[in-house]
Amino acid sequence: MDWPDTVGVVGGGVVGLATAYSVAARARAARSTPATSVTVYERDEPGAGSTTRAGCGLRTFYTTRTNVRLAQAGLRFWRRTEQTLGVDVNFRENGYCFLTDDGDTVAELDRQVRRQRAYGGPAFACTPEAVDRVPGLHAEHYRRAVVAPAAGVADPELMVEALLAGCEREGVTVRTETPVTDLDRVDDGVRVGTPEGTETVDRLVNAAGGWAPRVAAMLGDDLPVEPRRRRIAVLDADAPAGLPLTVDLDSGVYFLPGPDGRLLAGGHFSATPTVDPDAALTRERDPDYERDLLDRARRCAAVFDGTTVAESWTGMYAMTDSRVPIVERVDGVVHAAGFSGHGIMQAPGAGQVAADLVAGRRPSLASAAELARDRPTVAPDIQF
């Protein structure tokens, strides 16, 4: 394996930090000489993009094998950060619960349960009446529930803290408030321009989330990733103990326990256009959205009766057609983008794949062909 001397990572969200950590840790383990120097360029603070705006559910219930494998690696990683990195990310294994009343979706979910088991993830279908961890569930509105018990929720701020601890231990330099403004391919690597000047790295990783297409465009590359705005709300109510991340697949509403134990709810209820990433993140409230959200949530479970929204904000889903991310190398540049609504759970696995690509190695965790942008078309994976 050929570990380069210098690696630059654009973006200090969960994907960039997980990749930087993975590259540095694996290069050290391989005793690369001289030691590989890894720098993260973050235009704001670590996690300031979509990462700390996420609801933060961790599931492995997907339709594509690639998404399952990335998420399984993520689940393994996030469960153990206290032992490995000294930071407990408040992982609670509450599971996921999918609900539907739609005949076609029932059939599809039943197929997915079988597939999920074949992929090694436990899941079972039951009647909505049998779901006992969603207090006040209006079971009469649904025909089928699917429960995926090996899944849970965690705290995205602590996840950033954990990855920063790992990066520090591995000697990664994290440069905050350092936007990358120019990129040029040069003979010996990629020249990186920031307001502080230019420097050349042997390999560059584009982990800029919703901004990844802009970073790719600096190199003349057209990355098929579309940033879409997504909103989530904190309610003025505590989440019931053990509440799974619960999704009404018909109405699109989902809810889960937040990091501080309060109830979080989100979902998107109409087609959303591609956004300018610089204008996508806001903490301004949206009363129409919040009203719609509460109506849908109350139809799902009585736990929302009498609740109001305490705050809401937006982040981005960086979408691909299939909802499978793109992790591919184009010459000296590795793109790790398009994580849609599952970047937090997939970041540790994606970081491993990106590290393999940085080193010029075939990824062992997932198929490089299925993570490349020109992969065969597959139906969009489950997304809410």
Map tokens 């930071």 to a residue.
87
Tell me the sheet residues that pair with 182.
Answer: 193
Rule CB under 6 A: is residue 211 a binding residue for ligand FAD? yes
Q: Binding pattern to ligand FAD, positions 111-150, x when CB under 6 A? A: ----------------------------------------
DSSP string computed for 113-166: HHHHHHTT---EEE-GGG--SSTTB-GGG-SEEEEE-S-EE--HHHHHHHHHHH
Rule CB under 6 A: is residue 232 a binding residue for ligand FAD? yes
Which of 26, 53, 69, 203: binder of ligand FAD (CB under 6 A)? 53
Rule CB under 6 A: is residue 16 a binding residue for ligand FAD? yes
Least distance to ligand FAD from the beta carbon of 339, Å? Answer: 4
Element (H or E) spanning 199, and its range? strand 197-201
Segment near ligand FAD (CB under 6 A); pick from 4-12, 20-28, 298-306, 361-369: 4-12
- The three-point CA angle 292-249-146 to 5° equals 140
Rule CB under 6 A: is residue 344 a binding residue for ligand FAD? yes
Rule CB under 6 A: is residue 224 a binding residue for ligand FAD? no
Which of 21, 41, 62, 96: binder of ligand FAD (CB under 6 A)? 41
Which DSSP symbol is given to 8? Answer: E
Token digits of residue 302: 């009585």
Q: Which residues fall within 8 angstroms of residue 87, CB to CB, at 6 or more apart?
A: 81, 158, 161, 162, 165
Rule CB under 6 A: is residue 289 a binding residue for ligand FAD? no
Backbone angles phi, psi at 233, to 5 degrees: -130, 145
Least distance to ligand FAD from the beta carbon of 245, Å? Answer: 7
Using CB under 6 A, which residues numbered 309 to 328 contact ligand FAD? 315-317
Rule CB under 6 A: is residue 57 a binding residue for ligand FAD? yes
Least distance to ligand FAD from the beta carbon of 92, Å? Answer: 13
Rule CB under 6 A: is residue 233 a binding residue for ligand FAD? no
Closest CB to ligand FAD among residues 139, 372: 372
Q: Are 195 and 90 in contact (CB under 8 A)?
A: no
Rule CB under 6 A: is residue 15 a binding residue for ligand FAD? yes
Which of 75, 146, 204, 208: binder of ligand FAD (CB under 6 A)? 208
Backbone angles phi, psi at 190, to 5 degrees: -130, 130
- CA gap 19, 17 in Å, rounded: 5
Q: Which amino acid is at 161?
A: E
Element (H or E) spanning 15, and its range? helix 14-29
Which of 121, 152, 166, 341: binder of ligand FAD (CB under 6 A)? 341
Helix, strand, coil content of the chain in percent (nearest 5): 30, 25, 40
Which of 35, 48, 275, 368: binder of ligand FAD (CB under 6 A)? 48
Rule CB under 6 A: is residue 183 a binding residue for ligand FAD? no
Which of 26, 64, 339, 381: binder of ligand FAD (CB under 6 A)? 339
Residue 120 burial (C-beta neighbours within 10 Å; 0-12, 13-18, 19+):
exposed
The count of chain residues that interact with ligand FAD, using the rule CB under 6 A, is 40
Rule CB under 6 A: is residue 73 a binding residue for ligand FAD? no
Spell out where 323-366 has E strands: 326-330, 333-337
Closest CB to ligand FAD among residues 287, 306: 287
- Footprint on this chain of ligand FAD (rule: CB under 6 A): 10-16, 41-44, 48-51, 53-57, 179-180, 207-211, 215, 230, 232, 266, 315-317, 339, 341-345
